[in-house]
């Protein structure tokens, strides 16, 4: 059931959602930077943990972000990625991110193997 739009809650949820998205983007960048520089440190492990947790949460929610439910509950009809991208592209962002993350880890694994 969708309540009447609550602009304050919508802003709060979008802000939290944006912070989480920035952490996830930074985590993906850290995976690539670690692979390129062959740096395997605590930052890589923290980033990997964040990406793993995100993947589990998205999987449990059947490919949807739990914040989407909160957004709709408070009357926000735009999904997070739809704020920046056309709807037909935004709906594929989790799959796209999965591919980008997978490529990063393949590169990381490749660099680890050839370094040995």
Name the token pair of 65.
């972000």
Name the token pair of 2.
């969708």
| pLDDT confidence tier of residue 30, bands split at 50, 70 and 90 | very high
The percent of residues above 90 in pLDDT, for the chain, comes to 65
- pTM for the predicted model, two decimal places: 0.86
Instruction: Map tokens 């993947």 to a residue.
Output: 55
d(Cα 72, Cα 88) in Å, to the nearest integer? 19
pLDDT tens per residue, range 38-86: 999 999 999 999 999 999 999 999 888 888 888 888 988 888 888 889 9
d(Cα 23, Cα 94) in Å, to the nearest integer? 15
d(Cα 102, Cα 109) in Å, to the nearest integer? 10
> DSSP secondary-structure letter at 81?
G
d(Cα 90, Cα 68) in Å, to the nearest integer? 13
Instruction: Map tokens 């979008």 to a residue.
Output: 14
Q: Output the average pLDDT for the chain.
A: 91
107: pLDDT strictly greater than 70? yes
d(Cα 1, Cα 56) in Å, to the nearest integer? 26
């Amino acid at each position: 059931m969708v309540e009447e739009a609550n602009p304050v809650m919508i802003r709060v949820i979008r802000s939290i959602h944006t912070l989480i998205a920035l952490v996830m983007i930074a985590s993906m960048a850290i995976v690539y930077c670690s692979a390129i520089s062959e740096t395997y440190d605590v930052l890589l492990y923290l980033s990997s943990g964040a990406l793993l947790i995100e993947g589990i949460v998205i999987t449990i929610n059947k490919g949807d972000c739990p914040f989407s439910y909160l957004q709709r509950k408070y009357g926000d009809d735009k999904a997070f990625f739809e704020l920046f991208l056309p709807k037909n592209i935004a709906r594929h962002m989790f799959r796209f991110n999965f591919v980008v993350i997978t490529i990063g880890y393949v590169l990381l694994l490749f660099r680890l193997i050839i370094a040995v």
